[in-house]
Chains A and B, each alone.
Chain A
Amino acid sequence: MKDKKHPQMPVCQENYRNTHFTKEEYEALENMFKDLTKDNIQTKAGKLDRSQFRDVLHATFKMTDDMILDRVFRAFDEDSDSYINLSEWIHGLSIFLRGDLTERAKFCFDVYDLNGDSFISREEMFHLLKYSLMKQPTEEDPEEGTKELVEILLKKMDYDHDGRLNLTDYETAVKDDDLLIEAFGACLPEPQTAKTFLEYAFTVPKVRSRYH
């Protein structure tokens, strides 16, 4: 194929087997990626930048929380170059849409680990849960509730009792109770939305690559 020549286009025609997609789905998503990036030029060629990616999340997955959107972008961006290339796109979506419990737990963990130090600390939790409770005007300390939630989660998930969560803690807790997968805020699509997204990918008109 012509794409093979392009340095930014890794060879991924064959490795749909490494994803949770069928060949057709794989191709549709690849095509969608091309469609999204068709107008990008120069340095951005063949890559999605932050705002483009956020638009996708926003439009199709109805995600609005800026902080989460940003973190999801980072979770997709495996090489941390602030762009998402085709391989990252496919791999990320594979987990995002179809991932098994462990993969999704890892994904969520990455999203919630705001500073990327492989731990979710109390502070990060507090930050993530800050707006999850309605403010009660009667409450003396409006942050009391959030603090309490953080304590509840630590009690439930902090298996090694070090006051913060590592990936093992997180995975163990999720295996114990799958409802805790998005413990600190929604960052995965609903099954129905995921389905719609894939269906949408098939409707994107075939894009002829212009990289050559």
Chain B
Amino acid sequence: MTETLVPFDEVLERYDPAMGLEVHVELNTNTKMFCGCPATFGGEPNSQVCPTCLGLPGSMPVVNAKAVESAIRIGLALNGKIAEWCRFARKNYFYPDMPKNFQTSQYDEPIVYDGYLDVEVEGETFRVEIERAHMEEDTGKTTHIGGSTGRIHGADYSLVDYNRAGIPLIEIVTRPILGTGAKAPLVAKAYVAALREILLGLGVSDVRMDQGSMRCDVNLSLSPKGADKLGTRTETKNVNSLRSVERAVRFEMSRHAAILDAGEAIFQETRHFHEDTGTTSAGRPKSDADDYRYFPEPDLVPVAPSREWVEELRGTLPEPPAEKRARLQAEWGYSDLEMRDVWAAGALTLIEATVAEGASAQAARKWWMAELSRAANDRGVELAEVGVTPAQVAEVQKLVDGGSLTDKLARQVFEGLLAGEGSVAEIVDARGLAVVSDDGALGEAVDEAIAAQPAVADKIRGGNQAAAGALIGAVMKATGGKADAKRVRELILEKLA
């Protein structure tokens, strides 16, 4: 079905967007939320299960202390309040991704409430209010067999692996995000990016969107410009990259506007996001919370974190990312624009690590933002996964600083690193990339250049030192770019003095 869409700019002429973002984060605890099974990724199917996470009769759940600790630290880092007393609840539904026929979650008593996160988009700060963050467990993984699409519809039957069932999850839910207008898609993306950065800093999750340890559901509605009532929303599920978050918001805004323009009503439903086309398609009608028949989990006693514990955990929080950015910007002497670009490229921690390895902040920025960003872009991977480490960047820069590599040669080293040709030393060796600063070898090339361009040589003899550039260029060419340009210049001037 081809969807009618309204161009994005036109949407904003008639409608105001409201967004709500729900982010699920898998914690990186050793064990599951309610049992001692390993919570690691990638095991053999059904090899990380026990009677509790399989929901077998007679089994009893017990809460993982580390998961509660992580939930509290996340709450504090999001400027939230920590409940003095809260309970788990059963969310009842019939779907075989949970063998118990319910998911243990929290309902009206989340462990974290009333937080916020400030995000910056193009120099403007938006405060995203966080309504709640609650503890729950992940579900098993279903594979649909048969049918043509590999999707649930048309499948003949499904296979279930319960390794993931019971892994601790924190679901972080925003209040409706209003007043973002044309920046709505960017604010959504920036919020998820900022959240990811905080979680990474806390060390509570791998936050790998590509592996599903961080997943985002995007709620979106439009209301006629100036209206004070929110429109009907759709919920686009499992949007699994930062770029997709932005695209999902953009697409749904255009789609909603077309429906509303036609005088029709938005159907409250979940939507599936398609990475390949950047579009969404209808999922299921959205259940009311009532349909899950939540009730307090009788097998788990309430969680009542003492204020002492909460304060102790507050003491373990890392420097908030925004403050850290301000500090690093001052230390590194970057302009606002440079800093923004660095952050947007995901290069901040990489540059920090490169500087820690001894490179200057300017040099670190140069390599990460030019050569390596381009390579990451070409390969469609995150900068951190491009295949070059901060230590290697620092090592290359050290060779440049020491005069044994030029920038041009350094770029060839990075080429080698990106192609997996080995260590920095191995590549320099194998590709023969060391700078020639040996006077004997350079002297010959300089003599040849002078002989080849007598007119230029005369100019230099006549005192025009700027003319040396032409000879330096010839020497660089003759040495395959490996000559130490500074030394070449000195030799030319000496010989033509």
Q: Do A and B belong to a common assembly? A: no
Q: Give the A-binding residues of B (Cβ under 8 A).
A: none
Q: Give the B-binding residues of A (Cβ under 8 A).
A: none
